[in-house]
Structure 1
């Protein structure tokens, strides 16, 4: 399976380099590249992500390091330095440009300069910090998004030359605005310039200030001028997912106590209002627990679907030391995967059928599977990983790469391979099986960004002297243990008990 995951990456990567570079993405069915839709600037499905900056190559850089391919990494870095420019008249989403481009440039810079020495020695003799300079350049071009808003929340989109264009939408999703602190924090600390980190922290503080006064919940869309919630959906999936993830990871990477307290408080609200089913995962009575979307104003159930991004919340629970909940939530998504051999973008748990049918090779389920394997060492999760690899190869492999599934029912395809397939999906699947990989040997000293880019937990980035591995979620959790990954595998009978508690009969949907 390790070699299969590696082959999948190189099949996608080599075809991108042959048929798409220097454009942003690969169209794997017709073997050609795609960039921004200059003729239709309103096409945000494409233009939010694609900035005419060789996104496919940039986003994949540190996957090459994870695979141990020093030669190809150095070649790719040289191509990025020589070919990528941000002096482009394109309007991109601040969030996507930050997590996909700035995050990868910073992570790879740390690898090349041996500051992320946990991954091994990838020192590049003729490298002179160019990737850090490029990350700084792009961040400067994003700064206009934070100007001229009455709340301090950023515009969701910015033109890389002209700044914020007239008639730019004054609404942003919570995760889009509030998931910048890892990348902006690392950039600030590398530059010794607090500007970027303070902007990200201010955004988080503003979002937190506007939480509902009675429930404490956040909505999913907010007006950046007034602070009024334009979207009242509160959940742990799309629009909110990475906000909670980054609160916790900001504490792990930087030692930020304020963000930790925000995370812990938000978790209490989430468990009070969003969690349905039995009170404890390990008990055998009642409906299995999972998280629903609610009205932020009163906690009432707002709809009956969960989305594919919510699968990442199981990984957040692993990091929070809340293993039983992580296992339960992963169990729900595994049941959905078993039904379709992929996860539809939205699944209606009441009707037991998809609401939104496409599957763009998202990484969240593979990510949580990998993190749960690290936490439990149970071979069950490697079994799940093999199923993921087999299904992707069976249903999405085409002439020049891997294609988005248009409909999980009939397995029809769309001609698009998004950059996160190489930067995340393949990376997590490979790490699931390469147990001696430096990333796995130093798992408790590394943090994955929401785009799968790797940052080291070092004194250089922390404001506190201690480095914690697993954090307390509440008083019922175990104490932090930096050597948690070195514990014996979770006993098979314990894992079986937990999965029996999930109640697969409930999740085995017709």
Structure 2
């Protein structure tokens, strides 16, 4: 794979459209310089004049120095403020751009007040669930009820998704009761269709993680093998080794989705690998590892020229179908797991390093854009369109899901693992430790985190589910209060809020803040995380217990939807807790997180 690929021309993007992956135009800046040297003979008069000017200049500088010292004596606080501002800006700039002048960080201390506040929030959420719905898959904090995902009885999604968070937080009483429920009540003999993807990342992933964190408690591995063996039936009779989207855990049979019959999404089939490979590591049963690897071989064989993935594949043919290219929904965690498979096996499988680098090169060439207002870096989507004559063109759509906010932190991890020039990268990285493309990825990651924080500039301080970024052809300049950079499509005062306007307690931004803080030690990331946590406390908290989805992030006071997603306990609060913990708590050089924030130890392949 070649390095140093150049980003394509954006001239068509500025018109709101761009052709699909193909040729690219590269603009170049021309620079010129003039180096002139003149020599003159100076006579005695010129020398005398020069001496006179030097004397006046010396007197002036002495006067300025006296004035400065007098001001410093009378107003020292002003100079201290200027110094602090300069140092703060300089330090943050050094972190972002890899200055080697900053001393390498060895250990990051906890912020105990903020960390403990997150623990209290977890107890408020978990306590309500345990009180009202213990064992149910999901919790509804306003009605104080639980529901099951498949209708035939729950399999404890919330319990299993949250138990490693309890362990990490040191909540021994809550952990003991949750373990007792898993040991005595958890039963996978439940009729109904369960999502292969969600059950793998939440249930199998949660059991494997707590097995490790608990010191290899055998009950968790026993349950993990049970659910994994049932999920393996999704792979049965698959012509190209792609698992079906649903499994009946009792009949042990895979099923297609009714919405997209014959299709599977790249995220769903490409986000099972960490869990299955780690289970092989624990059991020695290679069936799990081989099932995961066969999926990756199919995806590699179907690779598109630009290295990116369409969100859907044909299950029967093992090929991508004409569908959107997106780093968001149905595509996101596929890219995440390319990098994390490389990290999971202690960087011993370069095939995943190469695949990850190729996809990120493609993302920079085709999907990474900047808003025309404040030059916010964001990710767009490529969407196919039929021009009416059977030919497909591609529209570059300035749409970014909240899900994409994982990418900022992922690019930082990728820069320091997949694009490093040394075995151990400093924190923060030094200039010579990353490749040129590594610094490109690092800087893009930092800018994406900045953009994701900008999407929290709402009435509630919470980010919407989906945002659109401004392009010159969007026609929004006709509005009196047109946004500068981004907007929520369809949101208008006086009408019901669109789906895009909601905040579902998602973790992606705080996930990236956690990674950025661990890799740099820059307190700005803790400050951002604390603001998000405070907004969640103010607008999502249900006084009787639990937290709920905000229907419209631009409405204050907020209206709530009666649902608390399991990932709030598994991911959002866990990443916030880790953000404010010391850096020895689940260190990044020893663990890799699955897409549901369940930490697995790094292993040797």
TM-score category (smaller protein): 0.7 to 0.9
Q: Does 1:305 align with 2:399?
A: yes
Distance of 1:403 and 1:374 partners within structure 2? 29
What is the deviation of 1:293? Answer: 0.7
What is the deviation of 1:427? Answer: 0.7
TM-score normalised to structure 2 length:
0.67
Q: Which residue of 2 aligns with 1:500?
A: none
Distance of 2:559 and 2:341 partners within structure 1? 40
The CA deviation string for residues 455-496 of structure 1, in whole angstroms up to 9 with x for no partner, is 112xxx212xxxxxxxxxxxxxxxxxxxxxxxxxxxxxxxxx
* Counterparts of residues 142-153 of structure 1 (less than 5 Å): 142-153=231-242
From 130, 136, 148, the counterpart of 1:23: 136
Q: 1:289 to 1:438 in 2, by over 3 A?
A: closer
Q: Secondary structure of 1:407's partner?
A: coil
What is the deviation of 1:235? Answer: 2.1
The CA deviation string for residues 253-296 of structure 1, in whole angstroms up to 9 with x for no partner, is 11322112111111111111112249xxxxx9993432211148
The CA deviation string for residues 322-369 of structure 1, in whole angstroms up to 9 with x for no partner, is 321111001111001123511211111136322412221001011011
Q: Does 1:196 align with 2:292?
A: no
Kept in 1: contact 2:540–2:548 (CA 8 A): yes
Q: Which residue of 2 aligns with 1:104?
A: 206
Q: Secondary structure of 1:427's partner?
A: helix
Distance of 1:165 and 1:414 partners within structure 2? 32
Q: Which residue of 2 aligns with 1:455?
A: 600
What is the deviation of 1:27? Answer: 0.6
The CA deviation string for residues 385-408 of structure 1, in whole angstroms up to 9 with x for no partner, is 111111101111112210011222
The CA deviation string for residues 406-451 of structure 1, in whole angstroms up to 9 with x for no partner, is 2223332110101100011001111111226522xx3321111110
What is the deviation of 1:91? Answer: 0.6
Distance of 1:421 and 1:271 partners within structure 2? 31
From 488, 510, 521, the counterpart of 1:354: 488
From 184, 192, 198, the counterpart of 1:90: 192
Q: Which residue of 2 aligns with 1:414?
A: 561
The CA deviation string for residues 160-183 of structure 1, in whole angstroms up to 9 with x for no partner, is 112336665321111111011110
Kept in 1: contact 2:378–2:400 (CA 8 A): no
Q: Does 1:328 align with 2:416?
A: no
Q: Which residue of 2 aligns with 1:259?
A: 352
The CA deviation string for residues 77-125 of structure 1, in whole angstroms up to 9 with x for no partner, is 12211111110002111110000000010011111225xxxxxxxxxxx
Distance of 2:585 and 2:256 partners within structure 1? 48
Q: Which residue of 1 aligns with 2:511?
A: 367
From 144, 163, 173, the counterpart of 2:252: 163
Q: Which residue of 2 aligns with 1:292?
A: 380
Q: Secondary structure of 1:132's partner?
A: helix
Kept in 1: contact 2:280–2:287 (CA 8 A): yes
Q: Does 1:318 align with 2:412?
A: yes
Q: Secondary structure of 1:397's partner?
A: coil
Kept in 1: contact 2:245–2:254 (CA 8 A): no
Distance of 1:353 and 1:368 partners within structure 2? 22
* Structure with larger Rg: 2
Kept in 1: contact 2:379–2:398 (CA 8 A): no
How large is the RMSD of aligned CA atoms in angstroms? 2.3
Q: Which residue of 1 aligns with 2:225?
A: 136
Distance of 1:305 and 1:288 partners within structure 2? 13
Q: 1:324 to 1:151 in 2, by over 3 A?
A: same
Q: Which residue of 1 aligns with 2:57?
A: none
Distance of 2:128 and 2:373 partners within structure 1? 51
Q: Which residue of 2 aligns with 1:444?
A: 589
What is the deviation of 1:384? Answer: 0.6
Q: Secondary structure of 2:338's partner?
A: helix
* Counterparts of residues 379-458 of structure 1 (less than 5 Å): 379-398=523-542, 399-410=544-555, 411-435=558-582, 438-439=585-586, 442-457=587-602
Q: Secondary structure of 1:172's partner?
A: strand
Q: Which residue of 1 aligns with 2:10?
A: none
What is the deviation of 1:63? Answer: 0.5
Kept in 2: contact 1:184–1:200 (CA 8 A): yes
Distance of 1:437 and 1:33 partners within structure 2? 36
Distance of 2:252 and 2:548 partners within structure 1? 33
Unmatched 5+ stretches in structure 1: 40-50, 115-126, 279-283, 464-510
